Every structure is written in C-alpha cells, then in structure tokens.
Amino acid sequence: MTNDVIALSGNWNYPTTVRFGVGRIKELAKCCKNLRLNRPLLVTDPDLASLPMVANAITSNEEAGVPTGLFSDVRPNPLGCNVDDGLKVYRNGGHDGVIAFGGGSAMDAGKLIAFMSGQTKPLWDFEDVGDNWKGADPDGIAPTIAVPTTSGTGSEVGRAAVAAHDDTHAKKILFHPKMLPEIVICDPSLVAGLPPHITAGTGMDALAHCFEAYCAPTYHPMAEGIALEGMRLIKRWLPTAVQDGTNLDARTHMMAAAAMGATAFQKGLGAIHSLSHPVGSAYNTHHGLTNAVFMPYVMEFNRIAIEDKMGRLGRYLGLSVANYDGVMTWVLGLRNAFDIPHTAAELGVEESRLNELAEMAANDPTAPTNPMPAGAPEMKRMYEASMVGAIG
C-alpha cells in the first residue's frame, strides 16, 4: 500500500436527527415522548435559567405530561464539579434523560451528565485519548435532547464535550459516540435575543471550527465541503446577525453554520483551539472570542501549509483578492468590525505564564491535526506573537 493510498482513508460519522426552524421549540414535549423520557432534567446556565424561554419550555412539558427538573449551576467554562453536582440532581430526582438547553457550556455539561448518569468510573477516565471511550458502559448513557441558544459551538451535533479539570483547570475533551444527542431542536427564535458581542463571539467560534476543519491535513472531503459552505454562510450572515439580532434569516443561517462547523471538525481542528483552550481555562475567557484573537497568528504560522487552500477559499467566498492575503484581510476586518481584541495581552494573558500555557497547548488534543507540526516551542512562539500583535 502506497503512502498516497494510506492518506486517502478515514473513519467517518455524520450527525443526528435535527428539527430545524423558527418555532420548533414547541415540539420539545413530543421529542421527549418519542424518546420515552418520562422525567427529563433540563440543564442550562444561571443566566438562561432566569429567562422566560426556559420557564416556558418547562411549563410546556409539564402541561404535556412530561414533568421536567432544572439544573443550572454551570459556569461559563464548566468544571468537573459542575458535572458532579448535576449528576446528584439527576440521580436524586429520578430523571431518565437530559435536555441540554443553552450555549456551549450548558450543552457540554448536559451531555456529560447524561453520559455519566450510569457510569461507575470517574469522569476523567473518558478523556479523548486513545480508546478511553471504550471503557464506558454504553447502557449507562442516558438520552439527550439538545436545544442550542447560541450559534457557535455546534455542540448539539457533536460526540464530545469539554470540561475543565477542577485542580489544574486544564480543559479536557471527553468523547463517546453515544454522547451525540438523539434529537436536536434548532429554533432560531431562541437566539434572537443574544446581544451583539455574544453574537459576534459565538459566530467567530463557528468560523474557527469551519476554518480549522477545512485546513486540517486529514482526508475527509465531505467535512471539507461542509466547512467551506459554513464559512460562506458566516461571511454572508454574521455581520447582519450582529447588527440586527432580530433578523431571523441571519439567525437561521448562522444557526446552520454553527452546526456545520461542529459537523465538519470531526476532520480535525488545530492550534487556534490548542492556544485558546489553556487561556480559557486559566483566565475564564469566552471561547469564541479567544479563538478570534488567536486566529490570525495561527494562520500566519500555518501559512506555508495552507496557502493553496486559501486561494480556493477566497474564490468560494467571492473575495476580491482570492488568496492567503485576501483571507487574512477578511479575518482581520471581521475582528475589527466586532471590536475583538487584537492581542492576547488584552485578554489578560500574562507573559510570565507563556511557558506553562504553551505546554498545555502542545498537549491539547486539537494540536495533532494542526496543518504545521506544533510542539511547545511553536505554541510559545504563537503566544508571543499574539501578545504584541505581530503578524508576518
């Protein structure tokens, strides 16, 4: 077998049942009944828990004969203890499934609570390393219905979740095929109230997912095509969604693009996420915003490996300059339009911690699929560039 043949191989999976469109949240109780959930636990974050959309969802379920519990003690970058606390509520309440309702943090916590509901091993035994996932009892994984309220992470169509270790605060990716929600309700009306800065941050997260999936050096043409179209939707609709959050066309297309990014990144991610994860853990920064800060520095580091692809991307996006420089100009223009910080220093990153952060980045599970090999020295070089805003 030649190296070319080896390179043209892969193991592929694609997502789940999605009920997509304005008003589809009304079908939540029906979805619960379809999965034979008699007493689900709705997992969300504290801010959403106080909003009418959550109260309405629970009331609607109750009226349909589906009593629904609530757990909302989830921090923006969830810790393992948040999952443990949710498990106690889940088990004490006699729940039989999870409704993961919210942005990426609530989605990840909800999926992990459902995943751990019938496990006997500790959470960190299932970190996405090697075949750790095979140690889980598949019969001990409760069904999940995912209801995203942001358009960024795409966790609603993912088979993994992210949580930070309680002691080290290092972000860990946990994986199992059955962590994929069985039903997703994508209702753009739930996203309409997001403020502009959150819309921008989550939208840039979706862009990072699509961009890194497109650039990852693995063979997955279906994911690559989805990533391209996701970026086209983001280019067309993210500025509108930020400017006018009530525009349901823009909200709809961005919700699709977010799911497309998460669908595509089974092809791989890269150093944007490798650099972002440690900073998010150490400084509790917004994940999408952090990705946006590091994006151009990683692009520059990877330039030799991605330059040809940038030409194709530029042509597909209809950029006036369809090459690497044109794509970089577009990315920097988005960051400027959305008032995204240009440097990591503006996120609060300290020079004294760069060695520590670089080691964490090099060990992040997203690092191996970066287009250019990147160990701790290379990660530190990108961090240093990002601290002073040096591109090129």
The whole-chain average pLDDT of the chain stands at: 94
Q: Are residues 155 and 23 in the same domain?
A: yes
- DSSP class of residue 100 equals E
CATH of the domain at 183: 3.40.50.1970
pLDDT given at position 193:
86
Same domain membership, residue 273 and residue 173 = no
Based on the domain organization, do 170 and 216 belong to the same domain? no
With bands split at pLDDT 50, 70 and 90, how would you rate the model's confidence at 12?
low
**Whether pLDDT at 281 is above 60:** yes
Model pLDDT, residue 10: 62
Q: Choose the weakest-confidence range: 115-124, 162-171, 265-274, 374-383.
A: 162-171
In a domain, 314, yes or no: yes
Confidence (pLDDT) at 360: 94
CATH number at residue 228: 1.20.1090.10
Averaged over 341-369, what is the pLDDT? 96
Query: In this predicted model, what pLDDT tens digit does every residue of 132-176 receive, in sequence order?
Result: 999 999 999 999 999 999 999 899 999 999 898 888 777 888 999
Residues 95, 81: Cα–Cα separation, whole Å: 19
| Token pair belonging to 337 | 């339009």
In a domain, 8, yes or no: no
Q: Are residues 59 and 181 in the same domain?
A: yes
Answer whether residue 4 is part of any domain: no
Tokens 């909302």 sit on residue? 72
Least Cα distance to 128 among 102, 153, 160 occurs for 160
* Burial of 132: CB neighbours in 10 Å, binned 0-12, 13-18, 19+: middle
1 part of a folded domain: no
68 pLDDT band, cuts 50/70/90, is very high
Indicate the residue among 144, 169, 190 that finishes a domain: 190
Residue 11 included in any domain = no
* Owning domain of residue 330: 196-388
Would you place residue 220 in the very low, low, confident or very high pLDDT band (cuts 50, 70, 90)? very high
Task: For 316-342, write each residue's pLDDT tens digit.
Answer: 999 999 999 999 999 999 999 999 999
Calpha distance 210→230 (Å, rounded): 6
pTM for this structure? Answer: 0.91
Is residue 240 domain-shared with residue 173, that is, in the same domain?
no
Domain count, the chain: 2
Give the separation between CA 90 and CA 235, rounded to whole angstroms: 41
Q: Give pLDDT, residue 261.
A: 96
- Answer whether residue 224 is part of any domain: yes
- Say how many C-beta atoms besides its own lie within 10 A of residue 40's C-beta: 29
My answer on whether 285 and 245 are in the same domain is yes
> Confidence band (pLDDT; 50, 70, 90) for 75?
confident
Is the domain of 58 the same as that of 158?
yes
**190, 210, 232: which is the final residue of a domain?**
190
In a domain, 48, yes or no: yes
- Flag whether 2 is in a domain: no
Q: What pLDDT sits at residue 111?
A: 97
CB neighbours of 374 closer than 8 A, spacing ≥ 6?
271, 274, 301, 361, 362, 367, 382
Shared domain for 233 and 298, answered yes or no, is: yes
